[in-house]
């Protein structure tokens, strides 16, 4: 909520006052400041913007930051180095073990496009520590031979992304790394819904199934296998159809008890929905569905009632989703 964010923002301001007095924190109630709201095109609340070098042109948006500690990291990475330079294996281990998650960039040398993209990504992911190294000893210790970004979870490597010059973009890496704040498959509920929408992946796939059914374990394993392959591109969500509090989600996707298990993809930006053409939730069917969606080949799913038999009898025709396009256009 705005109130919570406001308190965390104030706490960050208090802490940074001692460390970095050059950085000023301010608050504006735009209900009374219409000109400022218009000038900076404020659409959603709360919005946090960072103004650099006394200029009001092109402030940097600070999105998805909710905690004082993350605000502090975000600001520090914008005003100073965004990653820690690692020179020894001990230093690397200290960073990897200090938090639940850590991201380390292993490089042959520290002056290339990949390093730049890595440092820019670090600015946008203040939730976790970032380190980078060009030390041969450190790279050898972790068995790294190519320029790579490695995500460590609870001290163990869980993902290795080879970085090729000019191939990766910051947004793709940001999306990928932020998915590690969630499980590979995230069960939808009141607590996780906020986290799910905080991760900037616009494609969500949802599996609707009762979690107590006999086939659940097998289906869930298949779903998890497919999830590993599309990490960072499609967010895998599980919706338990036995949970009454999920009723609104079923309504939105027009899912009925007789339809489950059902798989849908949702694009958050366009609000377009897609239905998996196959009935069986196998690894192959899931992968094919995800790939055809990413290639732009999946058919949009427009929920609709069946076409009434007498739709054409009266001067005013009866239209439903299934005959709307063919009749109107």
8 Å CB contact between 127 and 62: no
8 Å CB contact between 65 and 48: yes
Q: Which two tokens stand for residue 184?
A: 């590979």
Chain position carrying tokens 């850590």: 102
Q: What is the pTM of this model?
A: 0.82
What whole-number distance in Å separates Cα of residue 300 and Cα of residue 72? 43
8 Å CB contact between 86 and 135: yes
Residue 218 confidence (pLDDT): 97
Q: What is the pLDDT of residues 239-281, one digit of tens each?
A: 999 998 888 888 888 888 778 899 999 998 888 899 999 999 9
Residue 320 confidence (pLDDT): 66
The Cα diameter of the chain in Å comes to 81
What whole-number distance in Å separates Cα of residue 76 and Cα of residue 302? 46
Which stretches of 76-175 are assigned E, i.e. beta strand? Answer: 84-85, 101-106, 130-133, 148-153, 156-162
Per-residue pLDDT of the chain (329 residues; tens, 9 = 90+): 678 888 999 999 999 998 888 899 999 988 888 899 999 998 888 889 999 888 999 999 998 888 999 999 999 999 999 999 999 999 999 999 999 999 999 999 998 899 999 999 999 999 999 999 999 999 999 999 999 999 999 999 999 999 987 667 888 999 999 999 999 999 999 889 888 988 989 999 999 999 999 999 999 999 999 999 999 999 999 999 999 888 888 888 888 877 889 999 999 888 889 999 999 999 999 999 999 999 999 988 876 566 777 878 878 877 766 666 667 65
Q: 3-state DSSP: the chain helix, strand, coil percent, rounded to 5?
A: 40, 15, 45
């Amino acid at each position: 909520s705005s109130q919570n964010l406001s308190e965390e923002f104030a706490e960050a301001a208090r802490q940074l006052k001692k460390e970095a007095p050059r950085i000023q924190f301010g608050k504006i109630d735009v209900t009374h400041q219409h000109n400022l709201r218009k000038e900076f095109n404020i659409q959603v609340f709360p919005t946090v913007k960072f103004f650099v070098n006394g200029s009001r042109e092109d402030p940097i948006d600070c999105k998805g930051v909710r905690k004082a500690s993350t605000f502090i990291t975000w600001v520090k990475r914008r005003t100073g180095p965004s990653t820690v330079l690692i020179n020894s294996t001990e230093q690397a281990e200290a960073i990897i073990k200090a938090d639940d998650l850590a991201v380390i960039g292993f490089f042959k040398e520290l002056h290339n496009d990949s390093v730049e993209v890595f440092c820019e990504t670090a600015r946008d992911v203040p939730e976790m520590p970032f380190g980078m190294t060009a030390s041969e000893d450190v790279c050898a210790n972790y068995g790294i031979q190519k320029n790579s970004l490695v995500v460590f979870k609870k001290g163990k490597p869980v993902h290795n992304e080879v970085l090729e010059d000019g191939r990766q973009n910051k947004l793709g890496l940001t999306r990928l790394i932020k998915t590690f704040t969630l499980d590979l498959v995230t069960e939808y509920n009141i607590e996780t819904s906020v986290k799910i929408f905080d991760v900037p992946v616009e494609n969500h796939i949802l599996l609707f199934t009762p979690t107590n059914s006999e086939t659940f374990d097998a289906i869930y394993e298949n779903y998890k296998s497919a999830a590993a392959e599309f990490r960072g591109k499609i967010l895998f969500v599980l919706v338990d159809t036995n949970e009454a509090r999920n009723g609104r989600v079923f309504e939105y996707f027009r899912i009925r008890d007789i339809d489950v298990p059902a798989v849908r993809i949702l694009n958050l930006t366009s609000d377009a929905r897609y239905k998996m053409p196959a009935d069986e939730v196998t690894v192959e069917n899931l992968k094919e569905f995800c790939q055809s969606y990413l290639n732009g080949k999946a058919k949009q799913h427009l929920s609709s009632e069946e076409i009434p038999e007498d739709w054409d009898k009266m001067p005013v025709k009866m239209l439903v989703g299934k005959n709307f396009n063919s009749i109107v256009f």
